[in-house]
Amino acid sequence: MTEPFYITTPIYYVNARPHLGHAYTTIVADVVSRFARMRKQETFFLTGTDEHGDKVVKAAKKENLSPREYVDKISGLFRSLWPELNIEYSAFIRTTDPAHMAVVEEVLQKIYDNDDIYFSEYEGMYCFGCERFYTEKELVDGKCPDHKTKPEIIKESNYFFRMSKYQDWLIDYIHKNPEFIRPERYKNEVLAFLREPLEDLCISRPKSRLKWGITLPFDENFVTYVWFDALLNYVSALGYPNGKLFSKFWPHVQHIVAKDILKPHGIYWPTMLKAAGIPLYHHLNVHGYWNVDHSKMSKSLGNVIEPIQMKNIYGLDTFRFFLMRDMVFGLDADFSEDAMVQRINSDLANDLGNLFSRVIAMVHKYFKGVVPDVDPAIEQELELGLQEKALSAVTEFEVNMESFAFHKALLAVWEFISQMNKYIDLTAPWMLAKQKSTRKQLEAVIYNLLEGLRIVSGLIWPVMPEKTRSMQKHLGLDPENKFYTLDLLRRWDVIKPGTVLPKGITLFPRIDTKKLMESRVNETEPERSDPGIKADITIEDLMKIDLRIATVLKAERIPRAKKLLKLEVDLGEKRTIVAGIAETYDPEELEGKQVIVVANLKPAKIMGIVSNGMLLAAVENGKCSVATSDQPMAPGTALQ
Ligand code: MSP
C-alpha cells in the first residue's frame, strides 16, 4: 500500500493580485500532486489565502472597503484563477475561516499553558511593511532590506514565544535530517541563521494598533501576529487535532515556498510545531524567484507577468511546461516571452509534436489507421531496445520528480523522445514498407513507436494534462482510464492491436514570432476598416477587463432611485451590484437569470450601496437589454 501524500503552497497575501510568482508555486504543487497520483498515492493538496494583519487593513482602506469585503474580493480572485490554470487543489483555506481561527486559539492556549509563551515589554525597530521587528544586524544601511524604509522605534508590551529555547534542538534536528530543508543551499542558509543567537518571537499585536486578527485566547487586548496565525493553516485545514484528514495526511506533509519566506518556514514553524507537540513536516521545498529583465517583478516597475495573459497568448499547457522546464528548482530564473517561444518551438512543436504526427501518419499510410500486431520473434530480431530506453526514462523521471528536479525529469522524457526519433531513422519504416518480406518488421517498429508515445503521453501528464488527453485520444486510449499511472508506464503492451486511430492532429502549433510581433504591432496601430466604430484599445487593455458570467440570486428596487436595481449575484462568490436597468426589468424577471459582469471594476458607492462590479447591457432610447449567455454556464466562468 502506497503512502498518502500531502502538499501545500504558501497561503498568499490578499494585498496583491495573483501574478506569475504565485502561479509558479501553485503549478509546482499541482505537478507534484499529480505525480503522487501517478504513483497511486492518496493525495491532499492545500492552497489558500492569508487574510489578517496591518497590510490588509491598509489595502482595504485604499479601496474604500471594509477588511471583510476586501478579503472576500481578493481571495475570490485567487480562487477563481486556479481552475483556469488547471490546478486541481483539494482544499482552499482562508485564515478568516472560523475553523482555522479556533485551531489558532487552541494551539496558542496549549503553548501558553506549557509556559512557552510569556508577557514582556519590548522596545525595538519595527517595519510596518513587514509587520515585524528587526535587529540592527538585519538592517541594510539602517533600512529594512525589503521595503528600503527606516524602521520606527516602538516600545510596547507583548506576548513572546520562547523560540530561543528550541535553537539547539533545531540545529541538531536539521543535521540529523539533511533532507528536511531542500535544496541544500537553503538548509545551509537556515543553519547560518541559527549560528546567531535566536531571539524569542513576538507573537502578539496590541488591539490599540491592530484589530484585524485573531484575539489571543488568554488576553483579549491583543491579536495574534500574522505569521503565528498563518503557519497554522497547514494543520487547521486538516482538522487538527482530531480530524481524520489530519491523522492520515499530516505525517506525510511537504511544503513548497520561495526563498522570501524561508525563515518563517525553516525556523518559526518547526519550533512552533515542537512546542505544540505536533510532529514536524517531512520536507520544506524552497525555490528561487522568477525575475523579469533581471529584476524582481513589481507593480512600480510595471513588469508584473499576468498568468492568464500568458495562457491566452501561448496556451496553458505550453506555459506550464515552460515554467517547469526552464526554472531549476531552487535557483532564480529570468522570465522572457522570447525564451518561452523558443522552448515551445523546439521542444514541443519540433521534437514531440513532429514525432507524434509522423508516427500517426505512418499508421494511416501503412495500416489504414489500424494498430498493427507484433510478432515477439521479430521484436527480438530487431533488438533496438526501445522498451528498455522507455523504462530507464520512466525511472529517471521518477527519481528527479521525487527530488523536485523537474527540469531533469523533463529532460529525461525529451532524451527518450530524441531516441524515438533516432529509432525511426535507424529502422527506416518507409524502406520496410517497400517489400512484403519486411512487413512484420514494419508492424513491430510502428507498434513500438506507438507504445513509446503512450509512455511519453503519460510522463507529461503532471505538467501538461490536456496534451496527455489529446495524445491518448489519438492513440486510441480512453483518457478517463488514467493511462498515466507509473505501473502502466512500465508496461509495453497497453495499446491494443486492431484499434482504429483517429487521423493526426497538430499537438503543438509552431509559434510564428514574426506573426506574433505583427499582430502586436497591429494592436497598437489598428486598421480602421469601419469608420463608425472607434477602435483604439489594445489586446492588453482588453485583457485587463475581467468579464464573468454571474447568476442573479436576488434583485430589488432601491427606494428613491427610479432607474436602479440592487442585485445580489453569484460569480463564484457573492457580490452586490447596482445596475441602472429598473425602467426595463422588474426585479422578479431577473432572479435566476445569467448576466455578464465586469468583475474587476473599482467598487463605487451608489445611493449608499457599494456596487462591486458592473452589469453589461445594451441601451437604446432608454430601454435596455442585459447581455447574457447563450448556454447555462457555471457562475464565475470567465469570458475570453
Ligand atoms: N502570506 C505569506 C505566506 C504565509 S504561508 C503560511 C506570503 N504571501 S505572499 O503572497 O507574499 O506569497 C509569497 C510566495 O509567493 C512566495 O513564497 C512564492 O511562493 C510566491 N512568489 C511570489 N513572488 C514570486 C516570484 N517572483 N517568483 C517565484 N515565486 C514567488 O508570503
Q: What separation in Å is there between the alpha carbon of 13 and the centre of ligand 1? A: 8
Nearest to 289 by CA among 258, 320, 324, 253: 258
Q: Are residues 482 and 569 in the same domain?
A: no
Cβ(284) – ligand 1 distance below 6 Å: no
Q: Sheet containing 215-216: give its strands across.
A: 204-206, 219-224, 215-216
Measured CA to CA, the distance from residue 187 to residue 175 in angstroms comes to 9
In the residue annotation, 624 being an active-site residue is answered as no
Measured CA to CA, the distance from residue 133 to residue 200 in angstroms comes to 11
Q: Are residues 76 and 145 in the same domain?
A: yes
Counting ligand 1 atoms within 8 A of each CB, the residue from 51, 96, 107, 260 with the most, and so the one to mutate, is 260
The three cell numbers of residue 487 are 505501473
- Which residues, in sequence order, are bridge partners of residue 122? 156
Q: Are residues 266 and 405 in the same domain?
A: no
Q: Are residues 188 and 103 in the same domain?
A: yes
Q: What is the pLDDT of residue 537?
A: 63
* Residue 529 forms part of a structural domain: no
Q: What separation in Å is there between the alpha carbon of 235 and the centre of ligand 1? A: 19
* Residue 471 forms part of a structural domain: yes
Q: Is residue 361 within a helix (H) or strand (E), and if so which, with residue range?
A: helix 354-367
User: Is-cis flag, bond preceding 509, omega within 30?
Assistant: no
* Residue 536 forms part of a structural domain: no
Q: Are residues 357 and 270 in the same domain?
A: no
Domain limit, last residue, from 489, 505, 530: 489
User: Is-cis flag, bond preceding 18, omega within 30?
Assistant: no
- Number of structural domains in the chain: 3
SS3 227: helix
Q: What separation in Å is there between the alpha carbon of 9 and the centre of ligand 1? A: 9
Measured CA to CA, the distance from residue 285 to residue 5 in angstroms comes to 14
CATH number of the domain to which 600 belongs: 2.40.50.140
Q: What is the pLDDT of residue 247?
A: 97
The three cell numbers of residue 126 are 519595527
The three cell numbers of residue 362 are 505512418
* Residue 460 forms part of a structural domain: yes
Q: What separation in Å is there between the alpha carbon of 21 and the centre of ligand 1? A: 7
- Sequence-distant (≥ 6) Cβ neighbours of residue 608 within 8 angstroms: none
In the residue annotation, 474 being an active-site residue is answered as no
Phi, psi of 123 (to 5 degrees): -120, 130
Q: Pick the catalytic residue from 52, 127, 467, 566.
A: 127
Compute how many other C-beta atoms are within 10 angstroms of the C-beta atom of residue 39: 16
Q: Pick the catalytic residue from 62, 147, 211, 434.
A: 147
CB–CB of 389/395 below 8 Å? no
Q: Are residues 93 and 174 in the same domain?
A: yes
Angle between helices 98-113 and 269-276 (to 10 degrees): 70
Domain limit, last residue, from 466, 489, 512: 489
Q: What is the pLDDT of residue 192?
A: 97
Cβ(225) – ligand 1 distance below 6 Å: no
Cβ(53) – ligand 1 distance below 6 Å: no
Q: What is the pLDDT of residue 479?
A: 83
Q: What separation in Å is there between the alpha carbon of 22 and the centre of ligand 1? A: 6
Cβ(462) – ligand 1 distance below 6 Å: no
In the residue annotation, 19 being an active-site residue is answered as yes
Measured CA to CA, the distance from residue 214 to residue 226 in angstroms comes to 9
CATH number of the domain to which 409 belongs: 1.10.730.10
Q: What separation in Å is there between the alpha carbon of 593 and the centre of ligand 1? A: 38
Q: Are residues 346 and 282 in the same domain?
A: no
CB–CB of 447/432 below 8 Å? no
Q: Are residues 483 and 578 in the same domain?
A: no
Q: Pick the catalytic residue from 144, 202, 252, 440.
A: 144
Cβ(13) – ligand 1 distance below 6 Å: yes
Q: What is the pLDDT of residue 520?
A: 62
Q: What is the pLDDT of residue 377?
A: 75
CATH number of the domain to which 251 belongs: 3.40.50.620
Q: What is the pLDDT of residue 1?
A: 59
* Residue 117 forms part of a structural domain: yes
Q: Are residues 353 and 271 in the same domain?
A: no
- Which residues, in sequence order, are bridge partners of residue 45? 7
* Residue 238 forms part of a structural domain: yes
Q: Sheet containing 201-202: give its strands across.
A: 132-134, 117-127, 152-161, 201-202
Tracing cell 486578527 back to the chain, one arrives at: 213
SS3 295: strand
Compute how many other C-beta atoms are within 10 angstroms of the C-beta atom of residue 400: 18
CB–CB of 565/590 below 8 Å? yes
Q: What is the pLDDT of residue 533?
A: 45
Q: What separation in Å is there between the alpha carbon of 40 and the centre of ligand 1? A: 29
Checking 123-128 for CB contacts under 8 A at 24+ apart, the result is 123/153, 123/154, 123/155, 124/153, 124/154, 125/151, 125/152, 125/153, 126/151, 126/152, 126/153, 126/154, 127/151, 128/54, 128/152
Q: Is residue 415 within a helix (H) or strand (E), and if so which, with residue range?
A: helix 406-427
Measured CA to CA, the distance from residue 37 to residue 452 in angstroms comes to 21
* Residue 509 forms part of a structural domain: no
Q: Which atom of ligand 1 approaches the CA of 15 most closely?
A: 10
* Residue 637 forms part of a structural domain: no
Sign of the torsion angle spanned by Cα atoms 275, 276, 279, 285 = negative
Cβ(51) – ligand 1 distance below 6 Å: no
SS3 449: helix
- Which residues, in sequence order, are bridge partners of residue 43? 5
Q: Are residues 258 and 367 in the same domain?
A: no
Q: Are residues 360 and 469 in the same domain?
A: yes
Cβ(327) – ligand 1 distance below 6 Å: no
Cβ(260) – ligand 1 distance below 6 Å: yes
Nearest to 503 by CA among 351, 352, 363, 372: 363
The structure's pTM equals 0.81
Low-confidence ranges of the chain (pLDDT < 70): 1, 379-381, 383, 518-541, 543
Structural domain that includes position 467: 336-489
- Sequence-distant (≥ 6) Cβ neighbours of residue 530 within 8 angstroms: none
Cβ(507) – ligand 1 distance below 6 Å: no
Q: Are residues 247 and 124 in the same domain?
A: yes
